[in-house]
Structure 1
């Protein structure tokens, strides 16, 4: 994939919606576009004439032309386009934000199965988080949930455009629904051909949520109770970014001290002057 090529395919985003009378939601988008195009080219034609010419049920055409109704997929595409997500390329600031949020769905968030609204757990009580920066960069509004609840982590969720954002993240490979129940669990497809800075951003955002620092060592671990293939895949990605050893073991990915230093991970429990492993 070229660096200046948009990554999010309109057809894939449209197909995250229920097509209603259409088995393929993308077909609803194409029909809607055809109806509006025909109506603009034949302003004196009514819904009956348009329906006859395009062989689309008149009730559907009338809703689109007279009542200004739109298929859900069309509205979603319009929202994504307005926010600049459909034009985002690897090095676009919008994609940097989307990439960060995808990493956070994997490492500390979720996308609701029915609504597609994403939710992200915050590690900082004062809301100082790279997640907030990423949400603001995407252009959506957001709100905080479970604040002051000592039994739950504070969460941030997009409000305006939240369902479209979640669908966009899903198209990029973010898991939808409870991650523990997903059998086919692997890293996002776009990382395979991504430039180094995109892969690094994903890794750093992932580690911001999942890095476990050792009290007596400079190695860093990630606990992942997923398939061995996923742990191997994750370890390989981090090792590629760090250019230092990262290993995959039983329920853990271990980042060597050299790799941790390469990634800029600071020891959490000791000062740099203390002995290291």
Structure 2
């Protein structure tokens, strides 16, 4: 993949929507764009003439020329306005999207029906790095369950949440309850991503899921998904750390050397350094 090429394809984003009368929602977007272009070039033509010229149902054309638009077309416009469709591997906006994808895997979810994402804050609470990532993609957010001791505090976008969730899904973030998903794999773009993107994904993941112990310098991730996923996750972390990382029964174990290479700060003694995103 060319690192200067936008990563999110608007066609893939369109296909996260219900196409209604269209089996392919992207086809609805193309027809909508054709209608609007024809109308702008022929301002004296009404819906009847446009529908005849483009061989589209008049009712559909009239709805679009009167201000309506397919949901997929609206979603694409929102994503473009936020800069998500233009983001390349080396953009700050994409780094923020990448961080949010990591947080869906390690401490969040995307609702099946609405595609709205929510993220549990980690032990840093309101200083969790996911808040900076939401700021990085330009969306406002609110906190939930702050006064509920039985639930983790969550942060959710208050604007463009559904489009953001769909964008994260296009990048490979799981949608719906992760426990029910089959063929659970890491995001497709990581295979060809620059080191900075892979490293940031790993650090964001570990900031939410790393288990430190008082008597050991190794760090573990409890992960009960299929062994193939644990193997894939261990391989990614090892590739970033350049030190041994192993997968076992329900656990991924990061060696002491790998933990030091990643700059992970033990939580049970005074840290001697810093890392980004900090835990």
TM over 0.5: yes
Q: What secondary structure sits across from 2:252 in the alignment?
A: strand
What is the correspondence of 1:1-277 to structure 2 with a 5 Å cutoff?
Answer: 1-65=1-65, 67-124=66-123, 126-270=125-269
Q: What secondary structure sits across from 2:253 in the alignment?
A: strand
Aligned structure 1 segments of 4 or more residues deviating by more than 2 angstroms: 270-273
Over aligned residues, Cα RMSD in angstroms? 1.1
Gap runs ≥5 in structure 1: none
Q: What secondary structure sits across from 2:235 in the alignment?
A: helix
Gap runs ≥5 in structure 2: 273-279
Q: Distance in 2 between matches of 1:136 and 1:271?
A: 29
TM-aligned CA deviation for residue 272 of structure 1:
7.3
Cα deviation, 1:56-94, whole Å, max 9, x if unaligned, reads: 0000000111x2001000110000000000000001000
Cα deviation, 1:96-119, whole Å, max 9, x if unaligned, reads: 000000000000000000000000
Q: Distance in 2 between matches of 1:245 and 1:124?
A: 26
TM-aligned CA deviation for residue 168 of structure 1:
0.1
Cα deviation, 1:191-219, whole Å, max 9, x if unaligned, reads: 00000000000000000000000111100
Cα deviation, 1:156-176, whole Å, max 9, x if unaligned, reads: 000100000000000000000
Q: Distance in 1 between matches of 2:34 and 2:118?
A: 36
Q: Distance in 1 between matches of 2:248 and 2:199?
A: 22
TM-aligned CA deviation for residue 270 of structure 1:
3.6
Q: Distance in 1 between matches of 2:94 and 2:125?
A: 26
Give the number of aligned pairs. Answer: 272
Cα deviation, 1:107-149, whole Å, max 9, x if unaligned, reads: 0000000000000000246511110000011011111100110
Please say if residues 110 and 175 of structure 1, whose CA atoms lie closer than 8 Å, have aligned partners that are also in contact.
Answer: yes
TM-score (norm 1): 0.96
Please say if residues 125 and 154 of structure 1, whose CA atoms lie closer than 8 Å, have aligned partners that are also in contact.
Answer: no
Q: Distance in 1 between matches of 2:103 and 2:250?
A: 19
Please say if residues 8 and 88 of structure 1, whose CA atoms lie closer than 8 Å, have aligned partners that are also in contact.
Answer: yes
Please say if residues 246 and 253 of structure 1, whose CA atoms lie closer than 8 Å, have aligned partners that are also in contact.
Answer: yes
Q: Distance in 2 between matches of 1:79 and 1:218?
A: 46
Cα deviation, 1:13-46, whole Å, max 9, x if unaligned, reads: 0000011111110000000000011111111111
